[in-house]
Structure 1
Amino acid sequence: MYKTFKIKCFIKRVFYLTYRFKRDDLFLDDYKRCDNYETLLREHPQTRIQSELDEKRKRLLIAVTHNDIQQVKALLDSPRLYKVTDRNGENLLQIAIIRNNAAVFDYLLSLEDFPLELVNSDKETALITAVSGGLDDNDYYFAEQLVKKGANLRHMEYLTRTVWYYSIKNPRMIKLLAETGADVNTWHRHFETPLHMACRYSNDEVVSILLFFGADPLTKGHEGLIPFDIAVLQKNRFQQKLLFKYTFDAFSQFKIKWRILLKLARQQSSLFEKFDQLVMDRSTYSMMEQGELEELLQLDSKTLKKVLTKFKNVVRWFLPSCSFHFWWKKEDNILEKIEVLVKCGLEDEVIKCVQNTNTTLLFHFLLKEFDEPTVTAITCYLLSYDLRLTEHDLQDVYEAYGYCELFKIMLHMDVQMEMKRQQMVPSFIYDLTWDFKTCRRKPYCFVNVEHLLYYFSNSEINDFCRMACGDKVSEKINRMPQVPSLVEITRNAFRKHFIHRYKIKTAKQFFSLINGLCINDVYKKIITYEKKIY
């Protein structure tokens, strides 16, 4: 339907332009035949009338622009001229407002039936032009007169550029609009009322005026926020106390977001204590999401204990559905906060929360933010609460720190295999079923392939490394022995016999049994690929 409409409009436009060009061509032909311009106007009386009207419009625009009230009165002798606009689409009233020409403005308003709702190219009326100018004394005068004259206050109500939108920072204009009868609960495009906007701009006086004239404090705006929520997010203590009286009382049923409640606790607000008095019988709480868990753990330990003392059952309800895979910062001291949760009797919930953690994201953040000892301490702590590791985690830790203490600890844990490998050497370490022949067809899928030369020396490995790394490994290959050393042969034979003899399936079983063998530590390091041979 829309395409059909556009085609029809295009066809009409073509016919109009064709007619106009033919008319202009006839006019030019007549002009060429005429001796002077007066003869042309006599032969085309309509052209004479149009020319005089255009000249009058130009003079009228100049008079309004220069505040020449006498000239305006002389020229504005017909209602046809009420709708004159300049090249920017501004009408006479808008030009007078923009130029601060009060005399012309007053005269135009005094005219009977002068249209107040004419719009410019931006679909804005004279009232919108007045209130969008910053609302100094002159702009307020123009807006006040237009409102008293009966200008439409609901123009563009559901768009961004409303009268309320431009007036929200000016208490005088807000009071004028409210006293005139404008709807204080009107919406604009972003689904917010004037009270929402006043709270976002932290204008205390405007908030007080709107509440006095009946603004609804329970109206939900963008993201389901009520004005009280916005005041909390803006950290405005005055508005918080004022809106709390209008929003919550002993007879109301209300629903507050956990994020807002935790913001109050973090701001050490006295209103947090008042929620405790109402929570048991008259209030309900929205479900806490992952973001609110982060907000909870960003509280200091003292405030966290206070929150858990009052809302332990609520935290117990939502915690198993969350996880700890968010950005860990040094100053947050997350382990101390988790310990607070455990000491408050939420150990089972913490375990479920740890099990839900996306370890790929967790290690991505930890390895980027902390040093090796801290990452090791945090990982060991979470492993004690059943943190579930994946193959990707071992790859990341090995890439960051090599065959470190944390990597050895992770080898003794259950690891979920994903077959998404980038490092060649750790694959040989933790995957007992990993066969070199299965990966040699795709050498470019791996990084640090040349590290295999520290553990293996045979023609097949050498050719694989040359294919994957090129000439940069040629020098090392030339210096290596032509046949495997006795240590390598013994290691490979022992691993194969040991795995087959005890029917070992996982790295956890293998490394646990190796640690229990009564052999020298050097031999253990060779068997587990911790010690390099070449």
Structure 2
Amino acid sequence: MACGTYVRQRRKERQVMNILTNDIENNDIKNFKEIVFNIGRSFFIGSNDYSFTLYAESMKRERKEIFDFLLSFHGRDDEGTIAALEHVLKNQNSVPDYFVNGLLNKYTYVENDEDLLVRTATEKCPQATKLLLDKGLDANAQMGDWTPLHRALMIDPDNRSEELITTLLCYGADPSVEAYNGYNCFELAMRHAHTDFVREMLFDFTFDYHSHHNLHISVLLQLGKLKSPLFHQLIKHDVEFFLDEYINTPFLENLSDLLLLEFDYFKIIFQKYNSICFEIFKNYIFHYFKSEPSSRGSFFGRRLPDIERCLCAEQTLMKFNLLLHGPASLNKNVIDFISTLDSYKVFSHISKSTNQTEVTEIFVYLLTWGLRVRSTLLDCVFQEYGYCELFKLLLFMDVEHNKYGVVHPSALVFYICEINSTLDTLSLTEYTVDSVFELMNYFVHPKLDKYRSQEEPSKKLEITGNYPHIPSLVEIARNTFREYFVTKFDIKNAQQFYTLLNRLPISVTHKKIISLETKLYNV
């Protein structure tokens, strides 16, 4: 079709639509019918906008006669009629019942039009759903693998969805029918955070003491997290639990939900469903070691929440003690799990929720069972608590240096840990100004004096009066001893250095000076 011809045709169509909308406004049914019969059905084919516009205008202005004519003129498969139906379903509260019922009746001329029932459930239309059910449609009608009850449970919960679910159950909807992802209706209600009323109603409709049930373990874990009375009711039934397969990250969600449980709920699951605990840990370990080190913590490019955050929960030690003294097969998986934890993240999360004594106790326990120490952990502990007992303990451990996302520790921690380093070789530009100034409490060195004169004028004034010009005899003796000690015993790392230092028959005071625990200058 030539461009000019197309433009002229579109202009003519708009003129016709203007006349028709004016007829609706004026309620001129005679002229409206005459024009529609003259232009015929072909005018509306290929553009559902035209017929939908006429439906919308007739409903807006409440022109019932024109609306009824449109219903009789258009077929039930007409795109404009379908669009009008979707419009009233989404805006049912603002559309008069006459028009809602008219469109619904249009779609219930054919017996068992199940797709429409599923659609009314999807759009959260309890009145429309009840009207269709009253007309005899099956409450368990399926569109694909979904029933109306499935769709009602998968939409965002609110008062309308609660009314809709109640209506469907009253009309015989079967909550035991599984959706395509293997979840029954009670499980869908749990996953989509429906109200206690909906969960309890579906529980009563689903479970009885004479039947065997198969459920995803996530349901029981969620009930435990919510401290729901349904948790204790459910474990009294004949239920076999299994791991979730259809959620995006079951290996993470199942484990995090388990670890976040209060101890009483955790203990019940461990004692009653020991094998599923084994599968949860095994599944997580498998996915962890299967992934590349650089991609751990992500799933198909999506960042996952840290599993370490689950250790902020109370009674962490009691939970691990229970797990590690369980069956040998579970014990191994739990030890492997502890070895996967990022010690820096563990400390970051735990230190926010408890005191220093409890943090130290948790870390001593986890280190005993194979928690790996990263270099960033020492820096984090030192910044939070200073040269504390936990920091001293970590100096005796094998330390892993991060290969991905390297974070430089403080200059002082670096010097404490890297026993072969010297101020002459230390690159001060890699550290913060405060971190470098911290070294001045332990060293008098030309490099530090030069740095002090170039950085932070305000801080320069603060420390000028206290900072000596030459090192003290204690510092010279300390530095000389450290250098001799490392050379004499061919020490390679901090673990060797502080282990041997601890064995020397010298006073605690001297050990604190050599290990840089004691400050020599007060700047």
Fold shared per TM-score above 0.5: yes
8 Å contact from structure 2 (residues 376, 407) kept in 1: yes
Name the counterpart of 2:85.
127
Instruction: Report whether the alignment pairs 1:414 with 2:398.
Output: yes
Matched, 1:443 2:402: no
Percent of residue pairs identical: 22
Corresponding residue of 1:353: 337
Give the Cα–Cα distance (whole angstroms) in 1 for the partners of residues 283 and 479 of structure 2: 46
1:377 has 2:361 as partner: yes
Matches within 5 A, 1:229-378: 229-233=187-191, 234=194, 235=196, 236-244=199-207, 249-250=211-212, 254=214, 256-265=215-224, 266-269=227-230, 272-273=234-235, 277-279=238-240, 284-286=242-244, 289-319=251-281, 322=284, 325-328=307-310, 332-342=314-324, 344-345=326-327, 347-378=331-362
Measure the CA separation in 1 of the matches of 2:351 and 2:425.
31
Q: Give the drift of 1:237.
A: 1.4
The structure 2 residue matched to 1:205, chosen from 156, 166, 178, is: 166
Contact 1:491 1:527 in 2 (8 A): yes
Q: 1:66 to 1:133 in 2, by over 3 A?
A: farther
148-157 or 363-372, which deviates more: 148-157
The answer (yes or no) to whether the contact 2:216–2:242 under 8 Å persists in 1 is no
Shift of 1:490: 0.4
The whole-number CA distance in structure 2 between the counterparts of 1:54 and 1:414 is: 80
Provide Cα deviations, 1:319-364, integer angstroms capped at 9, x if missing partner.
Answer: 2564894225766432333333345555544333222211122122
Moved more, 492-501 or 411-420: 411-420
| Preserved CA contact (<8 Å) 1:175 1:209 | no
The structure with more radius of gyration: 1
SS across alignment from 1:395: helix
State the 1:137 CA deviation: 3.0
Report the AA paired with residue 105 of structure 1.
F
For 1:195, give the aligned amino acid.
L
Contact 2:175 2:184 in 1 (8 A): no
- The CA RMSD measured in Å over matched residues stands at 4.1
* Structure 2: gaps (5+ residues): 155-160, 286-305
Residues 159-185 of structure 1 deviation map (CA, whole Å, 9 limit, x = unaligned): xx95552355333145268x4589932
Work out whether 1:146 is the aligned partner of 2:130.
no
Partner of 2:418: 431
Query: In the alignment, which of 167, 184, 188 is matched to residue 141 of structure 2?
Result: 184
What CA deviation, in whole Å up to 9, does each residue of 1:213-263 have, x standing for no partner? Answer: x79822224xx6443311233351111332457xx954x8x5x33212322
Give the superposition deviation at 1:69: 4.2
Does the 8 Å CA contact 1:97/1:105 hold for their aligned counterparts?
yes
Q: Which is bigger in relative contact order (C-alpha 8 A, separation at least 6)?
A: 2
Residue 479 of structure 1, CA deviation? 4.7
What does 1:445-524 align with in structure 2 at a 5 Å threshold? 445-447=431-433, 448-466=435-453, 472-473=459-460, 476=463, 479-524=466-511
**1:229 and 1:260 in contact (8 A); partners too:** yes
Contact 2:444–2:468 (8 Å) recurs in 1: yes
Rounded Cα–Cα distance in structure 2 between residues aligned with 1:128 and 1:215: 26
- Distance change (3 Å), C-alpha of 1:86 and 1:302: closer
What is the one-letter code of the residue matched to 2:165? D
Give 1:404's match in structure 2, choosing from 375, 378, 388. 388
> Residues 483-525 of structure 1: CA distance to partner in whole angstroms, max 9, x if unpaired?
2211111001111222233333332332233333333322221
Contact kept in structure 1, 2:121 and 2:149, CA below 8 Å: no
- How far is 1:390 from its partner? 0.9
Distance (Å, rounded) in 2 between the aligned partners of 1:249 and 1:332: 36
Residues paired across the two proteins, number: 470
- Is the 1:425–1:452 Cα contact (8 Å) retained in structure 2? yes
Q: Distance in 2 between matches of 1:464 and 1:139?
A: 81
CA distance in 1, matches of 2:51, 2:382: 68
CA distance in 2, matches of 1:54, 1:487: 96
Structure 1 residue 462, shift from structure 2 partner: 2.0
Q: Distance in 2 between matches of 1:258 and 1:335?
A: 23
SS at match of 2:394: helix
TM-score, normalised by the number of residues in structure 2: 0.75
User: Distance in 2 between the 1:354 and 1:500 partners?
Assistant: 36
Calculate the TM-score normalised by the size of structure 1.
Answer: 0.74
SS in 2 for 1:531: coil
Contact 2:218 2:243 in 1 (8 A): no
State the one-letter code of the partner of 2:103. A
**1:78 alignment partner, SS class:** helix
Does the CA contact (< 8 Å) of 2:309 and 2:346 recur in 1?
yes
Aligned-partner residue type, residue 101 of structure 2: Y
Question: 2:57 corresponds to which letter in structure 1?
Answer: I
